[in-house]
Amino acid sequence: MIYGFNAEEVFQIGIDLEENGKHFYEKAADLVDNPDLKAMPALLAQEEIEHVKIFKELNAQLPEAATKETIWDPDHKMNQYLQMMADMNIFRSGLDVDKQLSGIKTHEDALRLAIQFEKDSIVFYTTMQDATADTKGREFIGQLIYEEKKHLKKLALELKKHTTCKE
C-alpha cells in the first residue's frame, strides 16, 4: 500500500465529481420527453446534491491528521497524480456534458454512460482510499465508495429492467 494522500484532498475532488455528476443528470433529464424515463436522471441529480452535502459533512469531521500532508512533496507530484486519477473519470475527462450527451440516442445509452461514471468514481475512490495514510480518512473515503455503489446498483437495475422489457 502506498501512502501520500490525505483524505481532505480526496474529498475535494469527490465534491467536484459529484457536482459534475449532478450537472450531467440534470442535462440528461432535460433531454428526455417520457416522464417515466425522466424520473431516474432527475432522482440521481438530487442524490448527487445529497452526496455533496454528505461529502462536505464528512470532510468537516476529518481529524487533523487526515488533512495534513503525509510526505514532503515540494514539486506537488502527489497532487498531480491525484488530479490525473480524477481526470480519468468520465466527468473530468475534458469533454463537456453537452458533447457527452450528444452521443446518446437511447435511454440505455444514457444509463450506460451513467454506469460508467459510477464505476469510474468507485475505482478512483478505492485507489485513493488505498493511498491515504490516516485510518479515519480511509474509513470516511469508504463511505464515499458506499454511496457510489448504491448509485451503480440503482442504475444497473434500471438498465436491466429497461432492456428486459424490450426483449
Domain boundaries, the chain: 7-166
Asked if residue 148 has pLDDT above 60, the reply is yes
Asked if residue 12 has pLDDT above 60, the reply is yes
Instruction: Please give the average per-residue pLDDT across 138-146, as a whole number.
Output: 88
The top-scoring range by mean pLDDT among 77-91, 116-130, 145-159 is 145-159
Helix (H) or strand (E) holding 141: helix 135-166
Confidence at residue 1, expressed as pLDDT on a 0 to 100 scale: 43
| Number of other CB atoms surrounding residue 62 within 10 Å | 17
Asked if residue 108 has pLDDT above 90, the reply is no
C-beta of residue 45 within 8 angstroms of C-beta of residue 29: yes
Distance CA 128, CA 122 (A): 10
Confidence at residue 117, expressed as pLDDT on a 0 to 100 scale: 83
C-beta of residue 70 within 8 angstroms of C-beta of residue 3: yes
Confidence of residue 140 (pLDDT cuts 50, 70, 90): confident
CATH architecture observed for domain 7-166: Up-down Bundle (1.20)
What value does the CA radius of gyration of the chain take, rounded to a whole number of Å? Answer: 17
Confidence of residue 53 (pLDDT cuts 50, 70, 90): very high
Distance CA 134, CA 145 (A): 17
| Number of other CB atoms surrounding residue 65 within 10 Å | 14
Q: How far is CA 45 from the centre of its chain?
A: 12
C-beta of residue 127 within 8 angstroms of C-beta of residue 144: no
Lowest-confidence region among 33-37, 61-65, 69-73, 131-135: 69-73
Confidence at residue 157, expressed as pLDDT on a 0 to 100 scale: 92
Torsional sign, CA 135, 137, 143, 146: negative
Distance CA 27, CA 49 (A): 14
